[in-house]
Chain A
Amino acid sequence: MSRRAGVAASLFVTSALAACGDNLGPGFEPWVLEPLAASDGFWVRTPEFEVAAGAEIQDCYFFQVPAGATDLMVDRLTMALNPGSHHMNVFRVNTVRNLGPTDGAPVDLGGVQGRFVAGGAPGTGECWKAGNWSDWPLVANSQQSTPGQPILDWNLPDDVATRFAPGQWLMLQVHFVNATTQETPFRGRGGVNFHLSKDGDRQELGTLFATQQSIRICRSNPLQTYSGSCSMANGAHTIAAANGHFHSRGKRFSMYAWDGQSTERPADAARFYQSARWAEPDMATDLNVAVPDGGGIWWTCEFEWREPVEGCAAVDARDPLQAGDCCFTFGPTVESSEHCNAFAYYYPKSEDVNCF
């Protein structure tokens, strides 16, 4: 495979004529991903949904990889989001705790029929609770949803593809925010095309998801930096893509190639990713970062507390300590909590890796 992200514009069609209902509006051209024939891959589109003023919505859509006799190898992913999305993640369903396909209502996802679990009020429903997918391997993620660039077109490196088993359950999670730190000016919607490899890619893509679960950014101590390391197993690897994720107190997210031996932050020369854009963090898809045997990534989140526009009541309410210091702690809600999550994609796959 030799296609690169630079040809993205030719790979999808944007048209104001598309049937996107209330998404029509000044300054917005609805994105369109072309449906894929079965011979070319599989695809999903969430329904459109309203994101009311002040709302945060996080919903989970379950669907199955098409049936077939052999595993499917995918070497290109196109992921589209309406403006206002905070994230879109795709996971492989594994242990079902309190969230699974059977908990959902039937939903038409375009290319497949699926199941839908609404997140409900922020932080309350099972689609908000990360412990429900703690052992579900990551497939892909996107946080790209600007009006001018709503589609992430990600061609995997030459000879690399991600593997799916026929009938395997996947979960597409979308998070939209229409509040003070992030706005959804139209309606919420997401979609993914999984393009089949047709050139015999031999190396499998592995994923790495790492998170700091215990963070605290308070008014009285506004500058905080958290770091961690996460190793891959069994041999040398190459990191092909990465992005970081935090909320609006996040000032800078950095990732470094790490040798697996040192307890010091790697030198700047080893840094392969940095983003200061919390709402639309860069997704680096053209990486070619060598990681030695036993090594992995070192990631760092730098935070700076700032006064919430809506005041500290909601932030203080979810502080386990009830310190009254407007402390942002770990959590999924953009307005009142913080994250420090690293996503990396590497090959050849040894195993999917979670560090938390």
Chain B
Amino acid sequence: MFLIRCALATILATTALACSDDAPGACPVGDRGLPMELLAMTWDARAGEPVDLVDGGEVVLRRPIQGGKVIYVGVRARNVDGCGVQLTGALRDATSREVIALEQRPVRLVARADGWAVPATPLEQSLANVAACPNADAEVDLDGNRWELELRLEELQGGRRATLNLMVRPRCPADEAFECACECDSDFQIGGECPVDPGDEPDAGVDAGA
């Protein structure tokens, strides 16, 4: 298994070829002469603060304004310009290597007392809103199964970047269980009948055993 087991060890910090460390960061956190460090974070969207996300950890699927289900994922970082950065979040099928959902957005990280830069409020703007469900490309249900999460942070000026990969398990929240399990079923089709899994096994469904 190629995936990195420990969140701390997952950091792949690289300085980009076109790095321009002379370009002043608007709000540097840490030493930008050192490689950028990342740790994964997630947010429930109905809870308060984002929390660290460990390899194999759960991420909550939430319904945004227009529908569907997203996961809110991002990073805390060191040795970075917290203002001019772009975050990419992607869910990948670890077997087929296909990216089944991806979002890229400008984010802002703010310095915390412990020396890390963390997502600024509003959190939905500082975390990737990865549109997980419905998903035409997923071969198994989104919820309850393990997916590889790729998070990449890139400074817009100079191109310094770092990437981390870890496994996550999206989970439908209890208060949206029926709709979520329906939309996240790999057999769900826009405009079709809901093949939501029966009974008390919201993640089993037609993909049981997958």
Contacts and interface: CB of A to CB of B under 8 A. Distances in A.
B66 A130 contact: yes
B64 A213 contact: yes
Contacts, number: 118
B122 A320 contact: yes
Interface of A: 92, 94, 130-131, 134-137, 210-214, 216, 221, 224-229, 231-233, 260-263, 265, 294, 296, 298, 320-321, 330, 350-356
Contacts of B106: 221, 224-226
Interface of B: 64-68, 70, 86, 88, 90, 96-106, 108, 121-122, 124-125, 129, 131, 134-137, 150, 152, 183, 189-192
23 contacts: A130-B66, A134-B67, A137-B191, A212-B103, A213-B129, A214-B125, A227-B105, A228-B102, A228-B104, A231-B100, A231-B135, A231-B136, A231-B137, A263-B88, A263-B102, A296-B137, A320-B122, A321-B122, A351-B190, A351-B192, A353-B190, A354-B134, A355-B68
Nearest to B134: A354
Given A135-B191, A229-B101, A233-B136, A211 B90 contact: no
A202 B158 CA distance: 51
A294 B98 contact: yes
A262 B137 CA distance: 15
B190 A137 contact: yes
B96 A294 contact: yes
A337 to B, nearest CB: 11
Nearest to A355: B131
Given A260-B137, A261-B97, A354 B68 contact: yes
Contacts of B191: 92, 94, 135-137, 352
B73 to A, nearest CB: 13
Contacts of A294: 96, 98, 137
Contacts of B137: 231-233, 260, 294, 296
Nearest to A137: B191
B189 A351 contact: yes
Contact of B66 (A211, A260, A350, A352): A211
Contacts of A130: 65-67
B137 to A, nearest CB: 4
Given A134-B67, A213-B66, A214-B64, A354 B190 contact: yes
A180 B146 CA distance: 49
A232 B189 CA distance: 12
Contacts of A216: 122, 125
**Which 3 A-B residue pairings sit nearest by Cβ, starting from the closest?**
A134-B67, A231-B137, A137-B191
Nearest to B183: A135
A294 B99 CA distance: 8
A351 B99 CA distance: 18
Contacts of B90: 229, 263
A43 B90 CA distance: 42
A229 B99 contact: yes
Nearest to A231: B137
A260 B99 CA distance: 5
Contacts of A136: 190-191
Contacts of A260: 98-99, 137
Contacts of B150: 263
A354 B131 CA distance: 10
Given A214-B129, A263-B99, A294-B98, A352 B122 contact: no
